[in-house]
Structure 1
C-alpha cells in the first residue's frame, strides 16, 4: 500500500461531495497531515456565525498509561490547531483518576471556557461533567470516546466498530498467510468502562467468527492496564494449555503484554498477535514479526476535525458544526474517520504520513535491517 492510500482513506471518510465532513460509518486509538490544498483549514476559516478568535476551549485527556498517543500525538496536534485559529486551549490530563477528571472539569467550567472537549475515563464521570457544563451553558464535544447516555453536543472519533473489524480481519489475514485455517483465538479486550473497547470487540469478534475461527478465551483488561494485561494473559495461557492459534489484542499496549508472555514461552512470532494505535513499540514489533499488525488511526486528522468543530461551536455557527457532524451515534451528532490496517510491508505509510519517523523505529541493527527490507525511511 502506498502512503497516498492512507491520505485517500481519510479523505474519503472525512469529506463528502460538498467538502464538508461525510461520516457514513459507525463509532473508535495516530497522525496525518492534511493535503496542502485542503479547503477546510480550521486555522483560516471563520464560521459564518462569527469568529472563534479569542475564545477558550478546555480539553481533558484521560491518561498517559493506556496509550502513548494522548500526550505524544493528541496534545500537540490539538494545541497546534487551536493556536492557529487564535483559540486558547487549556489542555490537561486526568492521569486515569476520575476524581481528578471532575476537578479539572470544575476548574474549566468555573473559568468560563467557551467549550469543553473531553475524553472520558468512564461514562458515569463523563455524564456528570457534561451535565455540569450544560448547566453553565458550555457546549461539550466527546473526543475519541463517546460518553454513553451523557448528552454531549457532538462526538468526534474514528469508526470504532470498523477499528475492531480491521483488527479482526488483520488477524485472519495473518493466520491464513501462515496456513492456519482453523482453530481458536484469544480475545484480549480493553477496559470494560470504555465504550470504545466494547465497539472494538464487536468488530473483531464478528470478523474472526465469520472466518470460521472459534474463541478460546475472552477477557477484558481493567483501565487498559498493561501490567494487568500480562497477568490476565498468563492465566489465559495456563488455563487453555496454550491451545490457541492467535490473539486479538485491542491495542498495542495489550499486544506488547501478550508478546512478553509468548517470548517467555518461546512462541513469539509463531502466534499472530494484533494491536492498535500504531505506536512506535507496536510498529517495531510488526517490523520484527512478533506482532502481526496494528491499526493506524490518524490522530492529526482526528484532532484537526475536532478543532474545526469546536471552532464552529465557539463561533456560534451551528449550521457549520452540524454540517461537519453528519453521522448519528446514539443520538449524538458525530464526525467519524476511518482506520487503516498496518502490516509489515506498509509500515512506511505511517512514517510517510508524518506520525513517526524512521529514526524512532529503526533503533537497533535488527530493526534497521527490517526497516531496510521493507523500505522504511
Structure 2
C-alpha cells in the first residue's frame, strides 16, 4: 500500500516531529566506518524531517552515491501481523528508491516464520556483498546469532522494530516507543470500560510472544496502567496466560479462559490480529457490540473495522513510513561509513541479555478510535476508504466523518 501524497505534513507526522525536534543537529559517533569525507559532502537529516511523501529521502542521494555494498532487509513473517507485507516492505522499498539506490543495491526478504530461513537469507546476502543488515528477528536467540555472524564479517547491523537481545554492541535499534504503545493500550482499555459502562470489570490480560522483546515492553506499558486498578479493587484480573502472536493460538487461549471465567467482561489484546481472533469468538457467542472491550495495535484493516463495528475500543497507530525512513536513512549512513546524525538517534533501549543500553531511533505512536480515525489513518492514506467502508459499515464511516 502506498500513501496518499500531501503537501503538508500529516497529523501523525506533526505529533512525532514535535517530540523529536529537540533531537536534531550534531552527529553521533557510532564507529560506523572509517575515512569519512568532509562534513560538507555528507547530508544531515533528523527524524523530524520525515513526512508521508518520502521527500527527505531524496536529500540522501549524495550519501547513497558514497556507499558500497548492498542493504539487506530481513523481515520475520506474514502471519503475526499484516504490517510486514502491507506497510514495511513497500515503505522500505520506497525509502531506498527515493534515496537513489538501484534494485541491485538493496534486497527485502521475508522469512515466512522460519528462523532457519532467515539465517539462510542473511548468509546469502552477506555472500552477495551486503554491507548492512536490517534485521527484524523472529526471536532473540536466532537473531543474535545472525547479527553476531554479520558483525564478525564487517557487516553493520540495524535492529528493526524489535530489539534482538544479545545482539552486537554497536548496532542501532529503530522502532517506536514500545512502552508508550503499551501505555496507550492500557489507557484505551480503561477509557473503553468507562465509556461502554462495563460494571465490575473482570479483565483478562493477553500478552504477545514472550520471546519478542517488544511484547515485554508492551506489557510493561499496559500493566503499568492497569495494575493500580487491580490493586485498588476497581478491576479484577482474571488471569494473564502465556502470550502468543499466533491468532489461532490466541483464540484457543481466550476460549479456554472465557469458559473458566464466565464473569470475564473485558480483555487486553496486544494487537489487531489477536483481537480479531478474540472478537470472532465473542461474536460466535452472540456477545453484543459495545459491551466487551478489546484493544489492539497496528491500525490494520480488520482492527479499524472492528472499531467501527463497536467490538474493539481502539488501536495503536504506528506510522510505519516514519520508521521505514529512519531505518533506511541510518542504513545509508552505515553503508557509506559515515557517522549517524544524532537527529536520527533520540533514545536508548536496554538489552537485558548483555546489560547495556542500545542506541535507538524511536518514533511516537498514537491511539486511534472512531473519534480520530478520519484525521489519522484515513488522512494519512494508511488505509483506503473504499476498503474500510464496506457496505455494512457505510453508516458507521459516515458517523465517524469518513467520506
**What is the TM-score when the length of structure 2 is the normalising length?**
0.84
Q: Aligned partners of 2:216 and 2:349: how far apart in 1? A: 14
Q: 1:41 aligns with which of 42, 56, 59?
A: 56
On the 8 A contact 1:74/1:299 being kept in 2, the answer is yes
**Correspondence 1:86 to 2:100:** yes
CA distance in 2, matches of 1:206, 1:89: 40
Closer, same or farther: CA 203–59 of 1 in aligned 2, 3 Å: same
State the distance in 1 between where 2:27 and 2:83 align: 24
In the TM superposition, residue 219 of structure 1 has moved relative to its aligned partner by 1.9
Matches within 5 A, 1:1-377: 4-16=10-22, 18=24, 34-35=50-51, 41-45=56-60, 51-52=65-66, 55-87=69-101, 88-151=105-168, 153-180=171-198, 182-211=200-229, 212-222=234-244, 224-241=245-262, 243-269=263-289, 270-320=291-341, 322-330=342-350, 331-348=357-374, 349-364=376-391, 366-377=392-403
Equivalents in 2 of 1:105, 1:176: separation in Å?
48
**What's the offset of the Cα at 1:324?**
1.6
Q: How far, CA to CA, are the matches of 2:80 and 2:275 in structure 1? A: 12
C-alpha distance in 2, partners of 1:199/1:268? 32
CA contact (8 A) 2:23 2:346 kept: no
Measure the CA separation in 1 of the matches of 2:343 and 2:13: 21
Comparing 336-345 with 324-333, greater Cα deviation is found at 324-333
Check the 8 A contact 2:23/2:343 in 1, yes or no: no
Tell me by how many angstroms 1:355 deviates.
0.8
Equivalent residue for 2:41?
A: none
Shift of residue 273 of structure 1?
Answer: 0.5
Could you say if the C-alpha distance between residues 253 and 335 of structure 1 is closer, same or farther in structure 2, counting changes exceeding 3 Å? same
CA offsets per residue over residues 323-348 of structure 1, 9 Å max, x none? 42231212211000111001111111
Q: Per-residue deviation at 1:10?
A: 1.5
Give yes or no for contact 1:58–1:89 (8 Å, CA) kept in 2. Answer: yes
Shift of 1:220: 3.1
Deviation track 1:56-86 (CA, whole Å, cap 9, x = no partner) reads: 2000000010111100100000001011212
Q: 1:301 to 1:36 in 2, by over 3 A?
A: closer
Tell me, in whole angstroms, the C-alpha distance in 1 between the residues paired with 2:27 and 2:203.
37
SS at 1:58's partner residue?
strand
SS at match of 2:59: coil
Q: 3-state SS of the aligned residue for 1:15? A: helix
Q: Distance in 2 between matches of 1:132 and 1:60?
A: 15
* Partner Cα separation in structure 1 for residue 144 and residue 53 of structure 2: 39
Gaps of 5+ in 1: 23-31
Query: Aligned partners of 1:180 and 1:266: how far apart in 2?
Result: 17
Q: Is the 8 A contact 1:230 1:258 kept in 2?
A: yes
Q: Residue 154 of structure 1 contacts residue 334 of structure 1 at CA under 8 Å; is this kept in 2? A: yes
TM-score by length of 1: 0.89
CA distance in 1, matches of 2:395, 2:49: 28
Any conservation in 2 of the 1:151–1:332 contact (CA below 8 Å)? no
User: What is the number of equivalent residue pairs in this alignment?
Assistant: 360
Counterparts of 1:356 and 1:34 in 2: how far apart (Å)?
19
| Residues 220-259 of structure 1: CA deviation (Å, up to 9, x unaligned) | 343x111111111000101112x12311000000000111
Deviates more, 1:160-169 or 1:81-90: 81-90
How many angstroms apart in 1 are the aligned matches of 2:197 and 2:301?
28
Contact kept in structure 2, 1:118 and 1:141, CA below 8 Å: yes
Identify if the C-alpha distance between structure 1 residues 190 and 266 changes in structure 2 by more than 3 Å, giving closer, same or farther: same
Bigger radius of gyration, 1 or 2? 2
Change in CA separation of 1:17 and 1:112 when aligned onto 2, cut-off 3 Å: closer
